[in-house]
Structure 1
């Protein structure tokens, strides 16, 4: 299998200048070719493919006013065209919106294939630079990377992602199986009654973020003070995102390590997030990302992750007798079954039902679909 290993690195002034130039060239090539393809369709009804776009890029480099494109490696520029072609393929397949132009204020990326970097003696060298990158190797790479992606986020931090071949090691088989019900009060509740709680990272930093955004709004556009204020807002957003991802990785790893089978509920998060009152809380919970992590970690560890149908009434159905309540408001957190008299905690009861249905589905060969969450 292939796996990406991401590390932070600290470039030297010369490397930072080279990367800034590379990011700018990648952005210019992507935006100019995208404009050319869009105009060709609207003006002449002409559909442009990757080969024509690549030919246009070659001609672009030969123009006298664009000779500076030759000062950086051509590999990340060509890779940006491949990414653009993939974006168009996703658009025509209905999986994404029309490709948009890249902004210099957002995340910057440059992808290097094997001909544009060297990995030797534990050091990583990129094209056009003689000194190795100062990478903080938190763990060793399992093999030499086939692709390296260098990125700079809005907070000004540099990262390198190395795509490597690795051999997954299955965890010892255990008899434990669990059903989980995701929510907002608790990120998930298990069928045994364990509740994780919800750190609510966005709400925790809401006042501080609002203060920084007000200060940003008062700064004059184009000034250095505005750039500094924008950097502070970006760093705070990065902190919130890092805290959220760290918590999700720890929870998903704990579930995969302790259970042979994990049963979850498929949720259409994109539809649920349209709720104006709960959209921010749902986005902060990141149910889709949590399910995605369970899926690939389960595959690596030899575990089974099963997603049940999203329309299954897990909360309204009695886990003792199977009676289904006709209606149940969201604020009802506990209820008594009118059929058998069992007293249920809403979330624990849902987790029990999800586990029962998930084990049944597993017997018929069902597995998780990360895109369904």
Structure 2
């Protein structure tokens, strides 16, 4: 079973400079390799392989000497990520790879091997960068597992876990270093404990729950439980507007402007952390209390094109919440069932099946003309989602839809997500 855990690191001033160089260099190699691969195929119909791209790194280091200061494994990993992007595209699980831009604010690079973790002093060593403080707030592997399955070395009485010494066990996987807009540095440690994923537990109609996600309410369950939407972004809009206006008033390039931009970024980071924490708590509660969860396959990308709803949809974070439900279901042997996005879950009466075609978004309650049942829009939708999902499963006569990994959701490697 693969799992990733994210920890905060505290580099010094010199190490921050080295980290920024690694961010820029891996982005440079990715874009350079993308140009080469596209050019060779367009002009000569030649498919450039990973070996060809890695061999080209030697000549690039002669042309750009600053690349010699970068961990070579990280540069090679950039090429590997590019080819993975092409594979996902041709498999129908992603878009065509495009150039990475600094202004997109995605700062990360990967360290496939040769990193070390000082378990005694809470330090981490990255090649070409050195030792720095790390806050290990949760164990990425249990102490018993480390002692029984991995090799530890002792230096001055301190226990150090060296990835190189444990390479043959294939437990310590790739380490990813990233930086947020607020200037905080993190490492994500991916490990594989060689334990199989638990078999999905059997479920019945009573142990299955349907979920209808929304904007006014975060989610409504088919059991009648209502989960409120905390609206973290909306609650902070006034402060964000005030900070943004303060940034606009500062002279470009000034130190005061940089300080204000940092304050704005930290507040955005706070909102993202609040939303992430809330989604983890809600998803964990739902997974632990039910054997199967029924969801609707929403076209979130299409929905956010509506400028009237875009901010609210982004604030609630439907895609990320569903992603958390899916990988936690696999971790704990639970089942995710999906229904099509064009199913009339809100417009159909869950009692008699009557379909109300003229149901608009502003109507929160409606009475069925056929059976005279008064429906709450969201509760009715969640009940219908459960009914449709179970009916589809019985009709298919197979458990192949058990984790709901159909279509776009297959692009995620469920068990390797952080947190």
- Normalising to structure 2: TM-score of the pair? 0.80
Residue pair 1:316, 1:325 contacting (<8 A) in 2 also: yes
Report the Cα offset of residue 39 of structure 1.
5.8
Q: 2:219 aligns with which of 160, 185, 188?
A: 188
2:165 match: none
Determine helix, strand or coil for the equivalent of 1:69. Answer: helix
Q: 2:78 aligns with which of 71, 75, 80?
A: 80
Residue pair 1:119, 1:145 contacting (<8 A) in 2 also: no
Q: Aligned partners of 2:213 and 2:231: how far apart in 1?
A: 14
Determine helix, strand or coil for the equivalent of 2:272. Answer: helix
Residue pair 2:201, 2:334 contacting (<8 A) in 1 also: no
1:57 match: 57
Return closer, same or farther for 1:259/1:339 CA change in 2, 3 Å cut-off.
same
Q: 1:335 aligns with which of 356, 362, 366?
A: 366
1:136 match: 135
1:151 matched to 2:178? The reply is yes
Residue pair 1:84, 1:99 contacting (<8 A) in 2 also: no
2:67 match: 69
Determine helix, strand or coil for the equivalent of 2:217. Answer: coil
1:211 matched to 2:247? The reply is no
Q: 1:164 aligns with which of 173, 187, 191?
A: 191
1:298 match: 329
Return closer, same or farther for 1:96/1:172 CA change in 2, 3 Å cut-off.
closer
Q: 1:312 aligns with which of 339, 343, 352?
A: 343
- Of the structure 1 ranges 357-366 and 73-82, higher mean CA displacement relative to structure 2 is found in 357-366
Report the Cα offset of residue 45 of structure 1.
7.5
Determine helix, strand or coil for the equivalent of 1:9. Answer: strand
Q: Aligned partners of 2:208 and 2:88: how far apart in 1?
A: 37
1:96 matched to 2:105? The reply is no
Residue pair 1:177, 1:261 contacting (<8 A) in 2 also: yes
- Of the structure 1 ranges 286-295 and 217-226, higher mean CA displacement relative to structure 2 is found in 217-226
The number of residues matched between the two structures is 369
Q: 2:405 aligns with which of 348, 353, 369?
A: 369
Residue pair 1:288, 1:370 contacting (<8 A) in 2 also: no
- Normalising to structure 1: TM-score of the pair? 0.89
Q: Aligned partners of 1:53 and 1:254: how far apart in 2?
A: 46
Report the Cα offset of residue 87 of structure 1.
3.0
Q: Aligned partners of 2:327 and 2:234: how far apart in 1?
A: 29
Return closer, same or farther for 1:220/1:85 CA change in 2, 3 Å cut-off.
farther
Report the Cα offset of residue 353 of structure 1.
1.3
Q: Aligned partners of 2:218 and 2:383: how far apart in 1?
A: 16
Determine helix, strand or coil for the equivalent of 2:133. Answer: coil
Q: Aligned partners of 1:105 and 1:230: how far apart in 2?
A: 16
Residue pair 1:306, 1:361 contacting (<8 A) in 2 also: no
Report the Cα offset of residue 153 of structure 1.
1.4
Task: Spell out the pairing of 1:88-127 with structure 2 (5 A cutoff).
Answer: 88-91=86-89, 95-103=94-102, 106-114=105-113, 116-119=114-117, 121=119, 123-127=123-127
Report the Cα offset of residue 361 of structure 1.
2.8
Report the Cα offset of residue 220 of structure 1.
3.4
